[in-house]
Chain A
């Protein structure tokens, strides 16, 4: 698809040096965008329409004129896809459309309901306190990403799925490769293959044990595999999706949020002393302001559709840039400012439409509990590095900090 016109388009994802880790698109890069729906070039040689306004992103992600199936020719990919195998797509419902997607998603909705998440809040609190004990016990300084931000969601998702936490280093390393847009396609395929093999073994053990266990995978084995509603290959794909999403998203939200809060002592103090309702409001604003899915959500039009005054034709690629939609001045006053107690509930950090994050009640609870308990336990937490020099995950689908050195 590369041609002379495409060659002249700005390259996306934009990679100007960050003004700070909280700026999704720098002032320099915003100049590349000459309208709310504008064409950009992709590293794979193709191009995509970049949709940046809040209303347009909502309309696009709600519309059935767009497919989420990345195996379609012309789909906007940021990296060369790993070689396809019949197995590696099965169960991955975030890349499916219509009934196929709904069928698998619906098997999980009950697991992540607010009601059920409330029930596991004590478990989340225990996990957080355990991580804080270890952190405080080992003494300052520490890397808060490795000791807190990553282990907390990782332990929680392992516990929910029924995956032994002893194997977490194995998943973390492989899920980071799967999300890294700069990774070698063969390395991505190998990471996926080994994770699938691991999960397949685990599911097989549950299936043959007679007592599959009272965890998400165990319940799906009892309720759906044994009834024939779900195939093992599909369950493996669903488990993989949940494991990766559970490891990376909340972890990066915690890391970036702590960096931001440490630079705002008044907010840090209020987090320590305020109510849960205050903390919930703060979490929504953190989700809006940080929007860690920085490279946006890719789709492909399957029929002609108008978005933001542009005609997007059948077959054309489009990317919903959640991070800029969440800075849309039409919806949020002083959108580029972090305002901890604004009503940010309209943010699109979890996406929108039928693919909106299924784990959002869990993510919200984890963020509130992790941040609140961290602030209470280590009120004197301080950054132990130059914020400008912190290593960032610029090429990952999930943006965040690779390290966060702290002291207390």
Chain B
């Protein structure tokens, strides 16, 4: 099982909840828009990934597991 993380930069409103939840996977660029640092995060707690998804107020983050 490996997770694939995507973020929709067009809908991101820069609230930064994803960075607060998982700073190793998400960052914000100079404009405050989300950047995925690790599209395939290994060894990251899946519960925290899920938390980043549900806490994003804009619904910008998707995590698919294959």
Q: Chain B residues near A340 (CB, 8 Å)?
A: none
- Contact at A354–B14, with CB atoms within 8 Å? no
- Contact at B16–A361, with CB atoms within 8 Å? yes
Known: A113-B14, A361-B16, A361-B20. A106 touches B32 (CB 8 A): yes
Q: Chain A residues near B28 (CB, 8 Å)?
A: 109-110, 113-115
Known: A354-B58, A356-B13, A358-B15. A109 touches B31 (CB 8 A): yes
Question: CB of A360 within 8 A of chain B?
Answer: yes
Binds B, one of A67-75, A264-272, A294-302, A344-352: A344-352
Q: Chain B residues near A102 (CB, 8 Å)?
A: 13
Residues of B in contact, count (CB < 8 Å): 20
**Contact indicator per residue, chain B 1-29, by CB within 8 Å of chain A (1) or not (0):** 00000000000011111011101000010
Question: CB of A105 within 8 A of chain B?
Answer: yes
Interface size class of A (residues with CB under 8 A): 20 to 34
Q: Chain B residues near A106 (CB, 8 Å)?
A: 13-14, 31-33
Shortest Cβ distance from A105 into B: residue: B13
Shortest Cβ distance from A110 into B: residue: B32
Please classify the interface of chain A as helix (H, G, I), strand (E, B), loop, or mixed, using the class held by over half of its residues: helix
Question: How many angstroms from the CA of A360 to the CA of B57 in the assembled complex?
Answer: 12
**Contact indicator per residue, chain B 25-59, by CB within 8 Å of chain A (1) or not (0):** 00010111100000000000000000100110111
Q: Chain A residues near B16 (CB, 8 Å)?
A: 112-114, 360-361
Shortest Cβ distance from B31 into A: residue: A110
Shortest Cβ distance from A361 into B: residue: B16
- Contact at B33–A109, with CB atoms within 8 Å? yes
- Contact at A353–B55, with CB atoms within 8 Å? no
Q: Which one of A102, A105, A113 has the highest number of Cβ atoms from chain B below 10 Å of its Cβ? A: A113
Question: How many angstroms from the CA of A273 to the CA of B57 in the assembled complex?
Answer: 33
- Contact at A113–B57, with CB atoms within 8 Å? no
Question: How many angstroms from the CA of A357 to the CA of B14 in the assembled complex?
Answer: 10
Question: CB of A393 within 8 A of chain B?
Answer: no
- Contact at B59–A62, with CB atoms within 8 Å? yes
- Contact at B15–A360, with CB atoms within 8 Å? yes
Q: How far is the CB of B2 from chain A (nearest CB, A)?
A: 25
Q: Chain A residues near B20 (CB, 8 Å)?
A: 114, 361
Within 8 A of B (CB), among A94-135: 102, 105-106, 108-115
Known: A109-B13, A109-B14, A357-B15. A346 touches B55 (CB 8 A): yes
Q: How far is the CB of A112 from chain B (nearest CB, A)?
A: 7
Question: How many angstroms from the CA of A261 to the CA of B33 in the assembled complex?
Answer: 36
Within 8 A of B (CB), among A243-273: none
Question: How many angstroms from the CA of A109 to the CA of B51 in the assembled complex?
Answer: 21
Question: How many angstroms from the CA of A108 to the CA of B16 in the assembled complex?
Answer: 13
Within 8 A of B (CB), among A295-342: none
Q: How far is the CB of B18 from chain A (nearest CB, A)?
A: 10
Question: How many angstroms from the CA of A61 to the CA of B33 in the assembled complex?
Answer: 20
- Contact at B14–A345, with CB atoms within 8 Å? no
Question: How many angstroms from the CA of A403 to the CA of B26 in the assembled complex?
Answer: 41
Shortest Cβ distance from B28 into A: residue: A113
- Contact at B32–A354, with CB atoms within 8 Å? no
- Contact at A345–B31, with CB atoms within 8 Å? no
Q: List 20 interface pairs A-B (beta carbons < 8 Å), by A numbering.
A: A102-B13, A105-B14, A106-B13, A109-B32, A110-B14, A111-B32, A112-B16, A113-B16, A113-B28, A114-B16, A114-B20, A115-B19, A115-B28, A345-B51, A346-B54, A353-B57, A356-B13, A356-B17, A356-B57, A361-B20
Sample of 11 more A-B contacts, CB < 8 Å, known A354-B57, A357-B15: A102-B13, A109-B15, A109-B32, A111-B32, A112-B16, A113-B16, A353-B57, A354-B13, A356-B57, A358-B13, A360-B15
Mark B residues whose CB is within 8 Å of A.
Answer: 13-17, 19-21, 23, 28, 30-33, 51, 54-55, 57-59
